Structure 1
Amino acid sequence: MSTFQLIQGVIIGVVVLASLYVAFRKLLPKTSTRVMAGVSASLNHDGRPGVLRTIGKKLQPASASGSCGDGCGSCNSCGPAPAAKNDAQPLTFKSRQ
């Protein structure tokens, strides 16, 4: 195996892992928040080295502020979403000239 093939394999692996991470965060947001909170909590224990604690703090997901504007939907205090108006307009076709 040449050096080029080794570097190429590492770069492709990093790109694939980054793509999986982005897809995981986009498609499963609640699950990814739970997983990141668990990893953060396991790294941010007393007695861990400072580097691991710093990584744990950086991985900790942002918590919802609890205001009605953050869109968390966890407290149901915002009420039901307003019904969308029926602003349907008829289609009009114009002939070509």
Structure 2
Amino acid sequence: METEVFAEVFDALADTPMEAANMKARADLLAALVDRVKSWNLPQEVAAERLAITRPRLNDLLRGKLGKFSLDALVNLAAAAGLTLEFKIGEAA
């Protein structure tokens, strides 16, 4: 039995390098959003209103349900949370 080694967990989960890159970007954004929302120390209802989403949607975010959020949706939520995005582009390994 051969063991495959991956640089990141997303490489193991994804079928293509493009899908892995998308998952990594979404995971990074989701983690930043969770940190921001938790830093507010607000009830979920109020935090959801601040992000202009429903409380169940906020609950999905806080529980890290990555598959429920597109990259576009997470970018919009980051802007609503007062976060700025910086992209670093480099050569693939």
Length-normalised TM-score, structure 2: 0.24
Larger radius of gyration: 1
1 or 2 for the larger relative contact order (CA 8 Å, sep ≥6)? 2
| TM-score using structure 1 length | 0.24
Point out the structure with the larger helix share. 2
